[in-house]
Amino acid sequence: MEKLISIKEAANMLGISHWSLRRYSEEDIKPIHTKGGHRRYKLSDILKLQGVIEQEKEQSVALYCRVSTGDQKKKGDLTRQKERLVDYCVQNKLKIEYIFEEVGSGLNDKRKKLRKLFELVSKNKISKIVIEHKDRLTRFNYNVFEFFINSYGVTIECVESVLPQSFENELVTDILTIMSSYSAKIYGRRSHKNKKNENK
């Protein structure tokens, strides 16, 4: 009789989440349901799927490019950054599957393209993220981002270890943007409070 394993054991073998395994099971493998309603998988099916996932991940690289302002994009900084990453991947024989280009502050963790990148990570669609510098991904708490990404078996590769001369200027711009945003919120609250007091 063929050996059956639990969903937890299967997910651990494949290095994916339970939800990802459910998605794969709908497309590639059929789970066996026990009398108690538990899912079990044939070990042979998981071993086959393991080979498929590893093959997919080996070939899946995502590039993430970012500049802080629209002016930088107009000057061609974003395009040149992308070209440098593409050249790097070509030289190192890395197959590019996804390219994300974004204009936004490195202090903003709600960037749309960044979230799409994280979706690929959580769905085990990529094996590697290539960026120019750590600050392209985030200004602060890089270790937290790295821990999250690595937990899915995905690695981050930085093309340059030394930050560019424009780093300080971009950082100042990011901080001023945050200060301006908070100042506007505080001013708005005070204005609303004053109007309430006037109407009393």
Question: Which residues are catalytically annotated?
Answer: 68
Contact 2, 43 (CB under 8 A): yes
**Token pair for residue 37?**
């309603």
List, in sequence order, the alpha helices (H) in 34-155.
43-58, 70-74, 77-91, 112-122, 134-137, 142-150
Contact 167, 194 (CB under 8 A): no
Contacts of 130 (CB under 8 A, 6+ apart): 61, 62, 63, 64, 85, 88, 89, 94, 157, 159
For 73, counting Cβ atoms within 10 Å of its Cβ (0-12 exposed, 13-18 middle, 19+ buried), the class is middle
Helix (H) or strand (E) holding 99: strand 96-103
Contacts of 10 (CB under 8 A, 6+ apart): 21, 41, 46
